[in-house]
Every structure is written in C-alpha cells, then in structure tokens.
Amino acid sequence: MTGIRLTMAALGATALTLTATPALAAEAGITDEVTMTLGKDGTLHVVEKITGASGGLTRTFITRTRYDDNNDRLYQISNVKGGTLAGDVLTVTGQSVEYDVKGAVTTSGGVEELRWFAVNGWSQQVAKATVKVNGPGQVQNLSCFAGELTSAIGCTSASMDHSATQADFEQDNIGQGQALTVVIGYPKGSSGGAPILEKRFSLAAAFTLDLVTGGALAGLLLLLLGGIGLLYWTRGRDARVAGHEKGSVDPVQNGHFSPPDGVRPGQIGTLVDEQADVVDVTATIVDLAVRGYLRIDEQPRQTYDAPDWMLVRLPSAPVNALLPYERALYDAIFDGRDAVLLSQMSGSFASHLGKVRDALYADVVKQGWFARRPDTERTRWTTIGVVLIGLGLLATVALAWFTTYGLLGLALVIAGGALAVGGQYMPAKTAKGSAALAHTMGFRQYLFSGELGEVPEQHRVELFSRYLPYAVIFDGVEHWSRVVASVTGNGHPSDNLYWYHGPAEWDLSKFAGSMRTFTTTTSGAISATRQFRTL
C-alpha cells in the first residue's frame, strides 16, 4: 500500500514538473550572443545572434547620453543587416543582426576607451547574454555594468584571453529597460576614434557674459545706438532759425487781430506737436465760429441732463475762402444740413475726419514747414524699428541655439526698440517751419503775459474772441473764456456773443464754464472716432 502511494506521488510530481516547464521556458527570455570588433577608424562593428525569441522582436538603442555640462554624446547606428532601423528602434527580421556604431570611442588620459551598451532595450527579457570584443590593440583594462543605465553593479563575469586581445563578458537576466554596458581600454591611438558631441542648449550658456561677449555687445550697442543718434542729428532735428526771428510777437495790427505768419489754430497745433490730433480739430471748430462760418448755440437742459450744443451754419459765410482742411471739417460737420447737435455728430462726421487729418498734414507740408508729412515720417522709422526688433529676435534665437553669443542678438532688439520709439521724434521742421514755431511761441508768451496793451473797446470782443481758439491749442481756455466774458463792444456785460448763444436765463458770466465743457465734450466726441482715437 505504501509503494502505491509513493508511485502516485511520483506521478503527481512528474505531472507538476511537466506543467511548470512551459511557463518557466516562457519566462526564460532570449539568448543574445554579441560579437563586437573595433576597427582602425574607430567604427565598432557588432554582430548579434538571438535565439529563443517569441513573436516580433525589437530593440531600442541608446543613442544619446550626457557627456558634460555643455554637451551630449551621440552614438550613430548605420549599415544595419538582418533588421530595419527606424529612428532608434531596430526591428529584427532574422536570427542575427549586424550594424556599425560610431562615436563609441573616447580618449581619457593615456587610454583609448571603448564604451557601448552591448545589450539593452530589447522588447523581451534577455535570459543570458555573452559579449566578445576584439580590438586593434591589447586590452589595458576592462569593466562592465549591468542593470539600470546608471548602475554601478558589475556584470556576471568579465575576462580577457591570454594574449589580451579579446575581452569576454557575461550577464544573466537582463530585464526590459536594463542594459549591459561594456568598457574596454586600449592604448591611445589604437583606433583613432573620437566621441561625437552635440552642444546641449541652455539659457545660461546661450547668453554667456564674458570678456568677449560683453565687449562685442558693448561695441555693437555703441555702433547701433550711435548710428541712431547720428540719424536723428542729421534727419530728425529742426532746422535752426536766425536770432532775429525769435522773441515776442504782437498779434494786434491797427487794432485788429493778425496771427503771426497768418497761422490758423489747427495749423499751430500740428506745427507745435507735429501731430494732427483732437485739440487741433476742436480749436478749428471754435475758430470757424469766431470767424463767422458757424454759430454755437448751447441747448437748455435740466439739472441731470448731459450738456449739448447746436452747430448752426451761417448762410453768408464765404466758405470758398477756407483752407482745404477747414473746408473738409466744415463739410464733415454739416454734410448738407444747416444745423446739427454736437451729440448727433456721428456717422458721416466720423467718416470725414480722416480727410481732415490728411488735409492738416498736407497743409503743413504745403506751407513749407515740413519736408515730408510728419505722420508718414514717424510711421516709416517706427516700422523700420519694429522690423529691426523682429530681426533681432530671430538673430537672438539663432545665436542662442547654435552659439554662446545670444547677447549680440539682444543688441539688435534694443536698437530696434530705440528706433521705434525715436521714430516718433523723426519729423523735422524746415527753417521756415522753425521760424513759424518761434513766432508761435512768441505769440503764446504774449497771450499769457497779461500785457495786452491798450485795446479799443470796439475791438475787444472781436479781438479777445479771436484769441480764444489759440488758447484752446495752448490749454488756456479757462483764462481766455473769462476775458471774453468780461467785455462787450461797449465795455458792459452782455447775454450772448455774436458767435456763441446761450439758453434762456444764461449770461456771459457762465461763458467760461460753458466753453470749458464745450471743448472737453467736443474733444471727447472726436477722440471716440477711429481716425483720431490714438492721436
């Protein structure tokens, strides 16, 4: 009975063994026999024989490792046989595969060192790997590492033959993601191989500041910014005027207003700041009213109503005598109608303001005050500056990526920014324009000096009213509105002016506040349009 039990136990053990064997075989993995030969040109030729593979077999090569703080080391795979290489992935199509590796040799001290990841990246576990290495000289030293790529654990065995010309390595159970790295030292110059290095990008290295890059940056900035300064000196400065053309100006001739050089308020505004902007248009509207082309009627309102004004066309006004920019503004205001509320001046008015702006710029060129339109001159140089910024950014990226001179590209960016900003100051007045500006500043000094001299009473309303549009340009509306409100033709207060009418129960004592609100509201309405929004 005991014998029967033993026999049955033996049969059970045998059955268990037979059942477990396939599983163990399945987990055993492949066997990789590697033969490597280092040639005289530093090329490593590798032959691998693989057995025990199940299904498709692939290997992902390690082709890039860190060399030092600034460089990566590359390994180039070529001349593949027995498989196909796509990027770093080798697909094995037979029982063996061959390939060449370049970049596996480096010189350290007096030794030429071959380092290669003989087994790594297989899609199946490697149960056993053997590596034989033949070189161009006698082996000086050898070592091997197994496990993770950075592992310092030695492989199963490492030895050399009696002639020290062949090195042998073995390692069991190399898992996926693990590697067997072999390192063999040969006499210096044995193969003449060298590592393949590729510079690693880093901001610190790309924008290195040292004596060379700092000096080059300073020199380039000096050259570029000096060139921009020279450009402004030769192209952007106003022409000088003679000394006798400066000084104060008396705008009163024979008791009547006579602006210096016959300059209108809109022209003065464009001449002074070299821009056709909202204040120039506002001052021109007031000027057209003072000169008898339209009348401004303040509308009655309740306590919380928004202020409004009616602009009324005067039928007897000689509109053909208007300058082109004044006529463009006059047509934009009325557009075929006899009166319009300031609050309703939109639509066609906004669409005509572009013509007013262009006519103002054309006028200052026609007067000979500028050689070219100021807006065109600003746009030209600002555009060149923006283009230079773009080129500087491209140059910075290129220099930073491929060299350590990225700072030099920043010099172009800085110069472009300086030119883009400086472009706003490039419009230059001619000698005639500079003289007109000197007279204008003299008029401004006279206007705010408080020494207006003896003005006959019969001319005060007309004279002081004619000053008011210029006061709008010079930001003196409050002062001159009070002056105008203080007099009439006979020196006594009045309820209205010939060009400005207020609502019932309104008198000139309120004119200063009304005019201040009118100019502010008008400027706001104009600046809300697309043509003058950014000016």
Q: How confident is the model at residue 319 (pLDDT cuts 50, 70, 90)?
A: very high
10 Å CB burial of residue 283 (0-12, 13-18, 19+) is: buried
Q: What is the pLDDT of residue 174?
A: 92
Q: What is the pLDDT of residue 16?
A: 34
Of the listed ranges 81-90, 95-104, 265-274, 436-445, the one predicted with least confidence: 436-445
- Spatial distance between the Cα atoms of 105 and 185, rounded to a whole number of angstroms: 9
Mean pLDDT of 322-347: 89
For 434-479, the pLDDT digits (tens) are 888 888 888 887 777 755 556 666 666 777 788 888 888 888 877 7
Q: What is the pLDDT of residue 253?
A: 61
> Which H or E run includes 481?
helix 477-485
Mean pLDDT of 518-523: 88
Q: What is the pLDDT of residue 400?
A: 86
Contact indicator for 41, 136 with CB cutoff of 8 Å: no
H helices then E strands: how many in the chain?
13, 23
Selected residue with higher pLDDT from 238 and 489:
238
Q: How confident is the model at residue 232 (pLDDT cuts 50, 70, 90)?
A: confident
SS3 374: helix
Q: Is the torsion defined by CA of 265, 267, 271, 273 positive or negative?
A: positive
Contact indicator for 27, 38 with CB cutoff of 8 Å: no
Mean pLDDT of 308-330: 93
Q: What is the pLDDT of residue 13?
A: 39
The CA-based angle 354-358-360, given to 5 degrees, is: 115
Mean pLDDT of 235-264: 65
Residue 199 has pLDDT above 60, yes or no: yes
Contacts of 76 (CB under 8 A, 6+ apart): 63, 101, 102, 103, 196
For 376-429, the pLDDT digits (tens) are 998 999 999 999 999 999 999 998 888 888 888 889 999 999 999 988 888 888
Q: In this structure, what token pair is assigned to residue 192?
A: 């003449």
Q: What is the pLDDT of residue 10?
A: 39
Residue 17 has pLDDT above 60, yes or no: no
- Spatial distance between the Cα atoms of 409 and 220, rounded to a whole number of angstroms: 10
Mean pLDDT of 132-150: 91
10 Å CB burial of residue 343 (0-12, 13-18, 19+) is: middle
Pure H helices in 403-456: 406-422, 431-447
Percent of the chain whose predicted confidence (pLDDT) is above 90: 39
Q: What is the pLDDT of residue 47?
A: 96
Contact indicator for 90, 84 with CB cutoff of 8 Å: yes
What's the chain's average pLDDT? 83
- In this structure, how many other beta carbons lie within 10 angstroms of the beta carbon of residue 9? 10
Of the listed ranges 89-98, 239-248, 509-518, the one predicted with least confidence: 239-248
Rg (Cα) of the chain, in Å, rounded?
46
Q: What is the pLDDT of residue 119?
A: 94
- Spatial distance between the Cα atoms of 175 and 159, rounded to a whole number of angstroms: 23
Contact indicator for 181, 115 with CB cutoff of 8 Å: yes
Beta strand pairing call for 294-298 and 500-501: parallel
- Residue (of 532, 491, 481) closest to 286 by Cα position: 481
Q: What is the pLDDT of residue 19?
A: 38
Residues in the chain: 535
